[in-house]
Amino acid sequence: MKFLMIYPNKVMITRAPLGIGYLATYIEDAGHEFKLFDTTFISCGECPSDDALREQNLQVVNPDFEKLGLVEKNINVYDALEKEIESFQPDMIGLSTVDPNHNFGMQLLRHCKSIRPDIPIIVGGPLSTLVPDDVIVEESVDIVGRGECDIHLAELCNRYHDIKYPGVKKAPAQSKSKKEKKNLLNVLTPAEAKPRKSGWESLYDIPNLWVKDKDYKDNGIVHKNKVTLPELANGLSPNLSIYDPRHLLRPLGGRMYNMATVIWTRGCVFRCSYCANETFYKAADASAKEYYRKKDVKPLIEELSRFKEEFNLNFLMFVDDIFPLHEPELIDEFCRLYKKHVDLPFSVNLQPRLVREDTFAMAVDAGLRNICVGVEAGSDRVRRKILKRNYRDEHVEKVFAMAHKHRIRCSSFNIIGLPDENREDIFETIAVNKKINPTSATVTFFHPYRGAPLRELCVERGYIDPNQGKHEDVYRTDSQLNMPQITKQELKNIMKSFQLYMKLPEEYETLIKMQEDQSSFEARQIREKILLPVFKKIQDEESKWDFRKKKEWWTSDISGREEVDSKVKLPATKPGDAGFVPLPVLRVGTKKAGEDFKKELYPGNESVIDISGKSATIDK
């Protein structure tokens, strides 16, 4: 059977979601066809991209995306989806949804049902686990997938194949090992297995799925199954070849890299109130410790080595909630094999309390060049009582001191506009950042996402309407909370000035405060004529990282902006460079965003990336 997955990416975030990649692998491995309809590079409204918003708020320096072909086609997304369905003729349609893109995704599914009401639709992703009742009531949704559905979606395809094509054999499974085949095929334990019903009723007992009854319109019955956690140690790898190769072009430190997002672990052991992880592991009736799982090191290294060769990567971005620097024996094995078989610069996310100096040094030796650390709030009151983040300033300072000692890039993650947070609290966050001196500080407004415990407090205090449904386009642009101690406009003004307060010397603080409210001519002049030139000078000094280099990666003679200029010839790979592959020669006259262009950087299904693949076997 054929499965069409919709990725409703409305704001052109070029980062291939690993969840969809894993689903593609398991569906194809079970002998079915998988195809992705990705809206990333289709104009879907006037939403500014995440990268553009970060640059607008002075958080990053971006290269010229247009010269890299990172632009949107000005075509009708619904027409494009309709053509895809007509061409591919899927037997089932899926959609992965998160809060910011949920409404857009539902609009796409309604369009699917309007033209092909006979095709069943399944919706998965974080929101389906957090608030499944909100998703299953949608008329266009037939099935909801909760939790990690890698194996169970493949089983759904197996059973629906038998319904749609009785007696027709599927293509042979493509698993790489007997163990992987066993993990894939043993979906139900002997105790769970029951005599199989026929037709649509055969789908009712698949773990992790909520399935509408065949007579749902009359009886309103939904068949709800228990959420399980898949075995991860030797699990299959995500299929990244389903994505437009432009998803691999990502900026870091003002320079573009051919970068893949990868993951070693799943889950998190902490219970932060603004995060939904607690809801995830409770849905699976698991403890936080059980929810945090790791892939074995050898299959992980084989996966990364294969990705490097297959996609010509020169950087890896680990997106684990907790990269396990707190486990020295595990890190020692990882670093030893990573240096031998992968040998690329990489980035990780760290929790301040789970970092050791010895494992940090091992990781830097293996290629660690960037860390991302959740500071979130500088106020101890806000951090502990509101966010439930139990660490002290010293923990944060220690991690950033390690980064500066080893001369690697470091980013802090910060949230403003938290419930009960006031201006003084926010300036404690600025003070912490000023002290730790991160290379970049990512700042976002707090949003009360459904499923996060802190949303309940917002409803209780009257900061949001309990039926509030606005979840799009506001991640970095506005706060959604109406609080008595600080207004939305004040928060917006601080957001635009956060980097100035953090980076500029103290003698500029009076001027920065004067320009927070940009409604006056004087304020705009102070910002444009005095503050931004000083800030840009500081920023330029900090933006010359070059992680292609094995040594002295903290300096470069060429800025990232200059490098992607079509008039500047890219330097050839030199001995010692970290697997650098020069960007392709770009066509002159690439049309600007918002215009349709006939000859794209990657026309049709062709790719500048070699996807022939090479097998990788890891020895100790």
Q: What is the DSSP letter of 251?
A: E
| pLDDT (average), residues 289-316 | 93
pLDDT digits (tens, 9 = 90+) for 34-70: 999 988 877 665 554 455 555 555 545 544 445 555 4
Say if residue 171's pLDDT is above 90.
Answer: no
pLDDT of 599:
30
619 — pLDDT class (breaks 50, 70, 90): low
pLDDT of 468:
66
Of the chain, the percentage scoring pLDDT greater than 70 comes to 78
Beta strands of 220-367 (E only): which ranges? 222-224, 249-252, 255-262, 265-266, 293-294, 315-318, 346-350
Which residues are bridge partners to 66 per DSSP? none
pLDDT of 170:
74
- Phi then psi for residue 317, to 5 deg, are -115, 105
Say if residue 24's pLDDT is above 80.
Answer: yes
Say if residue 475's pLDDT is above 70.
Answer: no
Say if residue 273's pLDDT is above 80.
Answer: yes
Say if residue 316's pLDDT is above 50.
Answer: yes
| pLDDT (average), residues 138-145 | 96
What's the CA gap between 599 and 588, in Å, rounded? 11
Say if residue 589's pLDDT is above 80.
Answer: no
Say if residue 162's pLDDT is above 80.
Answer: yes
What's the CA gap between 597 and 534, in Å, rounded? 39
pLDDT digits (tens, 9 = 90+) for 69-109: 544 556 788 898 999 999 999 999 999 988 778 888 999 99
Q: And the tokens for 110? A: 């309604």
Say if residue 606's pLDDT is above 80.
Answer: no
Q: What is the DSSP letter of 495?
A: H
Other residues' Cβ atoms within 10 Å of the Cβ of residue 314: 22
Q: And the tokens for 333? A: 């094995």
10 Å CB burial of residue 409 (0-12, 13-18, 19+) is buried
Give CA separation, 427 vs 385, 411, 421, 497, 610, in Å: 18, 18, 10, 11, 48
pLDDT of 517:
94
What's the CA gap between 280 and 247, in Å, rounded? 27
556 — pLDDT class (breaks 50, 70, 90): low
Q: How many residues make up the chain in this entry?
A: 620
- Phi then psi for residue 89, to 5 deg, are 55, 60
pLDDT of 74:
67
Say if residue 269's pLDDT is above 70.
Answer: yes
pLDDT of 75:
73
280 — pLDDT class (breaks 50, 70, 90): confident
Tell me the one-letter amino acid at 456: E
578 — pLDDT class (breaks 50, 70, 90): very low
What's the CA gap between 477 and 492, in Å, rounded? 8
CB 382 within 8 Å of CB 420: yes
Give CA separation, 77 vs 74, 82, 278, in Å: 9, 9, 35
Q: And the tokens for 398? A: 């220690």
Say if residue 559's pLDDT is above 90.
Answer: no
| 315-318 and 255-262 strand pairing | parallel
pLDDT of 132:
93
Say if residue 506's pLDDT is above 50.
Answer: yes
Which residues are bridge partners to 260 per DSSP? 316
579 — pLDDT class (breaks 50, 70, 90): very low
Which residues are bridge partners to 409 per DSSP? 370
pLDDT of 549:
84
| pLDDT (average), residues 448-462 | 87
pLDDT of 47:
53
Say if residue 478's pLDDT is above 90.
Answer: no
| pLDDT (average), residues 183-210 | 68
What's the CA gap between 240 and 312, in Å, rounded? 13
Say if residue 268's pLDDT is above 90.
Answer: no
CB 204 within 8 Å of CB 197: yes
pLDDT of 57:
56
For residue 501, how far is the Cα from the chain centroid? 28
- 469 vs 131, residue with greater confidence: 131
Say if residue 592's pLDDT is above 50.
Answer: no
- Which H helix or E strand runs over 414? strand 409-416
108: left (phi over 0), alpha (psi -120 to 50) or beta: alpha
What's the CA gap between 41 and 246, in Å, rounded? 9
| pLDDT (average), residues 115-135 | 93
Say if residue 223's pLDDT is above 90.
Answer: yes
What's the CA gap between 61 and 559, in Å, rounded? 10
pLDDT digits (tens, 9 = 90+) for 563-574: 444 333 333 323
CB 477 within 8 Å of CB 157: no
- 468 vs 558, residue with greater confidence: 468
Taken in order of first residue, the domains within the chain and their CATH numbers are: 2-224 (3.40.50.280), 263-503 (3.20.20.70), 505-543 (no CATH), 546-582 (no CATH)
10 Å CB burial of residue 283 (0-12, 13-18, 19+) is buried
Of 163-177, 243-257, 379-393, the range with the lowest mean pLDDT is 163-177
Say if residue 275's pLDDT is above 50.
Answer: yes
What's the CA gap between 390 and 373, in Å, rounded? 14
Average pLDDT, the chain: 81
pLDDT of 221:
96
- 56 vs 353, residue with greater confidence: 353
3-state class (DSSP) for residue 249? strand
